[in-house]
Amino acid sequence: MTGDKVITADKLTKRYGDFVAVDHISFEVHKGEIFGFLGANGAGKTTAMRMLCGLSLPTSGKATVAGFDVYRENEKIKQNIGYMSQKFSLYEDLTVKENMRFYGGIYGMSDAFIKNKTASILDQLHLQKEGNKLVKALPLGWKQKLAFSVAIFHEPGIVFLDEPTGGVDPVTRREFWNMIYQASESGITIFVTTHYMDEAEYCNRVSIMVDGKIEALDSPAQLKKIYEAGSMEDVFLQLARKAVRAAD
Amino acid sequence: MHSVIVENIIKTYGKKKEVAALSAISFEIPKGELFGLIGPDGAGKTTLFRILTTLLLADSGNARVDGFDVVKEYKSIRKRVGYMPGKFSLYPDLTVEENLNFFATIFNTSISENYDLIKDIYIQIEPFKKRRAGKLSGGMKQKLALSCALIHRPSVLFLDEPTTGVDAVSRKEFWEMLKGLKQQGITILVSTPYMDEAGLCDKVALLQNGKILSIHTPQGIVDDFSDPLWAVKSTGMLHLLNDLLALEAVKDAYPFGEFHHVVLKNESGKKELEQFVQSRAKDHAVMQAVKPDIEDCFISLMKN
C-alpha cells in the first residue's frame, strides 16, 4: 500500500462504445477519511464505484483499492471492502442473527469471530432482544443502521455506501451519520454517495462529478470558498447545471 | 370546495392487524392547492395514496375525491384523477409516444386534445418519442410518467415520491413543472421524503408512523417551533456535539450541514451557550442565531 492512501485512481476511464461514462478521473482517498462522491444522475458515479469495487473492468487508466489493483486483483478487493446501498442490504426473510451469520460466512470469518461480533453489534445497536426477529419486522431506521454494521462486519479497511440514507427520517439519518463518524474514527475509510446536500457537509472531502469527469474536489469549506457559495447545495447546483449530457 | 377530504382513515396490515399503516388520519385539500405529504419511508404515504386513488380499501373512515366517495363511487374517481406511483409503472416495451397514446385512448381522449396541458413537460422528451420507455434515463422516465398521468386532464393529481433518488438539479426542475400545473387549476397531492421540498407546497402534512405530526402552511409549521435555536460550529464537530448535549441549558443538538443546531430549553439558556462557545475559542467555536426550517420542526415533533 502506498502510504496512507487506501484508494488511488489515475485517469480511470470506462467507455461503452462511443460513450465515455467515466472520463479520466484521478483522485486519492486517505485512511480514515470520509469521502463524499457526488454528482447528478447520469454523471458516472455508479460506473466509477463499480470499477473501484472490482465489479467492472476499466477501459483504461489505473486504480488501486486497499492496495490491490482493479484489473488483476479484483477478487482481493471484494474481500477487503464493505458495501451497502439503499436498494439492497439485508435479507428480509432471515433473522438479524442469520444475516450476520450469512455475511460473516461469505467473508470467511470463523465461527468464534462471528459469534463475538454478532453479540457486540447487537449490544451497540441496543438490539439484544431483536436478534431472533426477521429483518422484515424491524422499522426501516433500524434496518439501515443494522445494514451498515453488517457491511463492516468483516472489519474491512474501506466501506462503500451508495445513497445509504435515502428516504430515512431526519433523526435516523443523523444517527446513521454518527455511526459513520465512529467507523471513520476507528480507521475505516468511508466512500459515500448521497443526494442530501447537508450530508456533503459531513464529509472531510467531496468530489463532484459532471459528465463523467471530476469537476471539483476539496473540503466542503474550500469548495464553498472557491465557488463563492453559501452552501454545498449552491456549489452542487452551479456545477451540475454545466452538464450537457442527458441524465440517466 | 374541497378536492380531497379525508376523515379518520385507519388502515392496518397483517393477519392480526398488527401493523398500523394509518392511524385515524384526517385532512382536507381545497381545490387548486399544492399539498405536500412529507415523511420518511414507512410513514404511510403510499397507503394513503392507494386509498385515495381507490386501489386499496381502508379499514374504517371516509374519504372523498372531487366530491366522490372512494368506495361507493370509485369509478367516477378513476376517470378524473391522475396517479403517478412511486415505482415506474409505464410499459417499458412501448415507445414514449405509444405509452402516451395508450393512456390517452384508455381515457377516451387523444394527445392532440390535451396537448396544451402537457406541452411544457412533453416537449422535453418529444425528441425521443420513438425510443422505448424502458430505455429512457431516470429524468426522462419521470417526465413521461407525469405526461401520462396528465393526458386525460385530471382534476386531481396524485404524485407519490416523484423526486426520490433524483439529483438536486432535476428536483428543482420538477417542482417548477408542478408550479405550472397548479396555475392550470389542478389540485396536486405530492409526497416526498425530502424535508426541503416542503417549502414549495401551499400546505403540508408531516407524516410519521401513520400519524400526522403537524398540518399547516410551511410558514405555519416553522412558526410553531417556539424553542430558541442556535447554530454552533468549531473544529472537531463530533466532540462538539457530545459536549453540547451535555450542557444543562440544551434540550437537543444535532448535526445540520456545516453547523450543529442547538435547541435550548428556554431563552435564559443563551448565557450558558455563550460561555461554552467562548471557552472553545481555541477550537474556533462560533455561534449564531438561526431560523428553524421544516427539518428542525420534524425532528422536534418526532422527539416529543
Residues A135-148, mean pLDDT to the nearest whole number: 88
Q: What is the CATH architecture assignment of A5-240?
A: 3-Layer(aba) Sandwich (3.40)
Domain B229-303 has CATH 3.30.70: yes
Residues B193-198, mean pLDDT to the nearest whole number: 90
Please report residues of A whose CB lies closer than 8 A to that of B195.
170
Residue by residue, DSSP assigns B44-110 as SHHHHHHHHTTSS--SEEEEEETTEETTTTHHHHHHHEEEE-SS--S-TTSBHHHHHHHHHHHTT--
Q: Which chain B residue is nearest to residue A181, measuring alpha carbons?
A: B238
Quote the percentage of chain A above a pLDDT of 70. 97
Strand partners, B229: B263
What pLDDT, in 10s, does the model give residues B74-100? 999 999 999 999 888 999 999 999 999
Min Cα distance B138 → chain A (Å) is 5
In the numeric block, which cell numbers belong to residue A143?
434496518
The pLDDT score that the predictor gives to residue B171 is 86
Pick from A88, A135, A136, A169 the residue to mutate for testing the B interface (most B CBs within 10 Å).
Answer: A169
Cβ–Cβ contact B86 with A under 8 A: no
Binning pLDDT at 50, 70 and 90, where does residue A85 land?
confident
Domain B2-223: top CATH class:
alpha beta
Please report residues of A whose CB lies closer than 8 A to that of B139.
41-42, 246-248
Question: Are A40 and B170 within 8 A, CB to CB?
Answer: yes
Q: Are B186 and B157 in contact (CB under 8 A)?
A: yes
Please report residues of B whose CB lies closer than 8 A to that of A246.
137, 139-140
What pLDDT, in 10s, does the model give residues A15-50? 999 999 999 999 999 999 999 999 988 889 989 999
Q: Is the pLDDT of residue B41 over 50?
A: yes
The pLDDT score that the predictor gives to residue B134 is 92
Binning pLDDT at 50, 70 and 90, where does residue A88 land?
low
What pLDDT, in 10s, does the model give residues B129-150? 999 999 987 778 889 999 999 9
Q: Is the pLDDT of residue B164 over 90?
A: no
Q: Is the pLDDT of residue A3 over 90?
A: no
What pLDDT, in 10s, does the model give residues A163-197? 898 888 899 999 999 999 999 999 999 999 988 88
Residue listed under C-alpha cell 479484483: A74
Residues whose CB is less than 8 angstroms from the CB of residue A203 and which lie 6 or more positions away in sequence, other chains included: A34, A35, A36, A192, A220
Quote the percentage of chain A above a pLDDT of 90. 81
Q: Which chain A residue is nearest to residue B18, measuring alpha carbons?
A: A137
Residues A142-162, mean pLDDT to the nearest whole number: 94
The pLDDT score that the predictor gives to residue A2 is 46
Q: How far apart (Å, rounded) are the C-alpha atoms in residues B176 and B49?
A: 22
Predicted structure pTM score: 0.88
Domain extent listing, chain B: 2-223, 229-303
Domain extent listing, chain A: 5-240
Question: Are A237 and B172 within 8 A, CB to CB?
Answer: yes
In the numeric block, which cell numbers belong to residue B262?
442547538
Task: Output the average pLDDT for chain B.
Answer: 94
The pLDDT score that the predictor gives to residue A224 is 96
Question: Are B137 and A248 within 8 A, CB to CB?
Answer: yes
Cβ–Cβ contact B42 with A under 8 A: yes
Strand partners, A16: A19
Q: How far apart (Å, rounded) are the C-alpha atoms in residues A54 and A160?
A: 12
Q: How many CA atoms lie within 13 A of B269 on its CB side?
A: 18
